[in-house]
Amino acid sequence: MKELKRVIISGGGTGGHIFPAIAIADEIKRKFPQCDILFVGAEGKMEMEKVPAAGYKIVGLPIAGLQRRITVQNLVLPFKLLSSLMKARKVVKEFDPQVAIGVGGYASGPTLQMANALKIPTVIQEQNSFPGKTNKWLAAKAAKICVAYEGLERFFPPSKIAVTGNPVRLEVTKIEGKKDKAFAHFGLSEAKKTVLVIGGSLGAKTLNDAMDESVQKLAENNIQVIWQCGKYYADALLNKWKDRLPDGVWLNPFIFEMDLAYAAADIVVSRAGAISVSELCLVKKPVILVPSPNVAEDHQTKNAMALVNKGAARLVKDTEARSVLANEILQLAGDSEAQIGLSDAIETLAKPNATQDIVQEIINVI
Ligand SMILES: CC(=O)N[C@H]1[C@@H](OP(=O)(O)OP(=O)(O)OC[C@H]2O[C@@H](n3ccc(=O)[nH]c3=O)[C@H](O)[C@@H]2O)O[C@H](CO)[C@@H](O)[C@@H]1O
């Protein structure tokens, strides 16, 4: 069998790009423990913290995105791009990987572009039903494009597509037998129903507003809440709720132990980011999705509808969340038949072998 010895993985910006990249790296390491893996990210972005925390080395490029407003940052963008291309060329040349994998996000542009220029094969992993700009741009020269949804022939050369599903970190979805540890970790009681609220890797204002108005009501109805609010909203919310949070409400910017959060939950309320959706299929919990309307081509609604159309999730629109979310939660919490129906249906959409299949595609191109 061909062996992976040196691999570059590039991309990031949000957890939705970083965590699948880490899942791919973990699977490569599981198969080829000696493989040397180097990540290439964007300076100042989330990957510069999360990738080393997962035990991998990362180099940052000075790349940034175009701001929608006219700003000084936009004026220096061409210089940042040029210096990112130069740095990416140096990194790729010196590390000399057998393959470079792009997971979407700014940094993967210069890195894979330079790998292409140096005749190193490239593989792209696209998490969503609507591809990001960088992946669309890199597709023409990629050797393989691993996707999670059908129908991406509209954007990518059909002969290069492999429908694998999204890579998900293994330990995140291993929840069996962890309930006791989970309740202890979050300081919750086994006697009450638990709702997990996650606004994607960065938190979601809509979900925070909805929870801000309804945690009290949920607590009064014997429902506990694990409320992940995201780092941008944390100061204001933690300040407001300091000393006043009802019993059985855990509020924090980020959950490092997602396995415990999933294990504790009877119901999950979540944004419909692609990796969150893939994880939810694997943990088989009843889910209420509130897709973000602020993403390219409304792709979170498409991610969500793929489940809703199969009876595998309920949907609450972003604009309606503040007024209806608490009642939706209470209604579902009181209907165990509906909960079973949702978890049975969501289980059928899981792709448990996605990460192995992606690594096989990577091996095939070297
Ligand atoms: C606003 C935005 O641009 N969202 C995009 C971003 O979502 P986002 O970055 O929110 O990513 P996803 O929802 O796809 O995945 C979130 C990941 O973060 C982890 N997690 C989350 C919260 C937490 O407290 N702890 C934790 O570990 C989850 O377990 C999961 O692994 O990338 C996704 C995949 O390209 C896209 O589908 C989303 O539309």
Binding residue per annotation — 16?
yes
Task: Report yes or no: 292 and 272 within 8 Å, Cβ to Cβ.
Answer: yes
Identify any residues that bridge with 195 across adjacent strands, giving them in sequence order.
225, 267
Closest ligand 1 atom to 296 CA: 39
What pLDDT sits at residue 77? 80
Q: Which ligand 1 atom lies nearest to the CA of residue 15?
A: 9
Query: Dihedral angle at the C-alpha atoms of 63, 68, 71, 74, nearest 10 degrees?
Result: 30
Mean pLDDT throughout 135-153? 95
pLDDT confidence tier of residue 76, bands split at 50, 70 and 90: confident
pLDDT at position 66 is 64
Average pLDDT, the chain: 95
Between 178 and 243, residue with greater pLDDT: 178
Ligand 1 atom showing the smallest separation from residue 228 Cα = 24
Q: Does 169 count as an annotated binding residue?
A: yes
- Predicted confidence (pLDDT) at residue 190 exceeds the cutoff of 80: yes
Burial (CB count <10 Å: 0-12, 13-18, 19+), residue 239: exposed
* Distance (Å) from CA 20 to ligand 1 centroid: 10
Kind and range of the H or E run holding 343: helix 336-347
| Whole-number Å distance between alpha carbons of 113 and 107 | 10
Q: In whole angstroms, what is the distance from residue 212 CA to residue 96 CA?
A: 50
Determine what percent of the chain is predicted with pLDDT higher than 70.
99
65 is an annotated ligand-binding site residue:
no
| Residues forming beta bridges with residue 193, ordered by sequence position | 223
Q: Which residue has the higher pLDDT, 79 or 255?
A: 255
103 lines ligand 1 (CB under 6 A): no
From ligand 1's centre to the CA of 220, what distance in Å? 30
Among residues 186, 6, 184, the alpha carbon closest in space to that of 93 is found at: 6
Q: Is the distance from the beta carbon of residue 292 to the nearest atom of ligand 1 less than 6 Å?
A: yes
Residue nearest to atom 21 of ligand 1 (CA): 201
Q: How far apart are CA 192 and CA 223, in angstroms?
A: 6
pLDDT tens for each residue of 37-75:
999 999 999 999 999 999 999 999 999 776 666 677 777
**How far apart, in Å, are the Cα atoms of 179 and each of 206, 253, 296?**
28, 22, 37
**Lookup: tokens for 57:** 């080395």
Give the pLDDT mean for 4-16.
96
> Order of strands across the sheet with 36-42?
57-61, 36-42, 6-10, 99-102, 122-126, 144-147, 161-163
Residues 122 and 138: beta-carbon distance below 8 Å: yes
* Three-class secondary structure of residue 233 per DSSP: helix
Q: Confirm whether residue 127 is marked as ligand binding.
A: no
DSSP single-letter state for residue 91:
H
Nearest alpha carbon to residue 136 among 112, 118, 115: 112
User: Mean pLDDT: which of 66-75, 130-139, 146-155, 321-330 is highest?
Assistant: 321-330
Does the structure show a pLDDT above 80 at 262?
yes
* pLDDT digits 0-9 by tens, 312-357: 999 999 999 999 999 999 999 999 999 999 999 999 999 999 999 9
pLDDT for position 36: 98
254 CB under 6 A from ligand 1?
yes
What was the pLDDT predicted at 3?
97
- pLDDT on residue 296: 85
* Cα 72 to ligand 1 centre (Å): 29
- Report the complex ipTM: 0.98
Half-sphere exposure of 150 (CA within 13 A, CB side): 2
User: Does 201 show up as a binding residue in the annotation?
Assistant: yes
202 vs 207: CA distance, rounded Å: 12
**How far is 260 from 11, CA to CA, in rounded Å?**
27
Ligand 1 pocket, residue 208 CB under 6 Å: no
Q: Is 6 helix (H, G, I), strand (E, B) or coil?
A: strand
301 lines ligand 1 (CB under 6 A): no
Name all domains of the chain by residue range, CATH numbers in brackets: 6-166+353-365 (3.40.50.2000), 171-347 (3.40.50.2000)
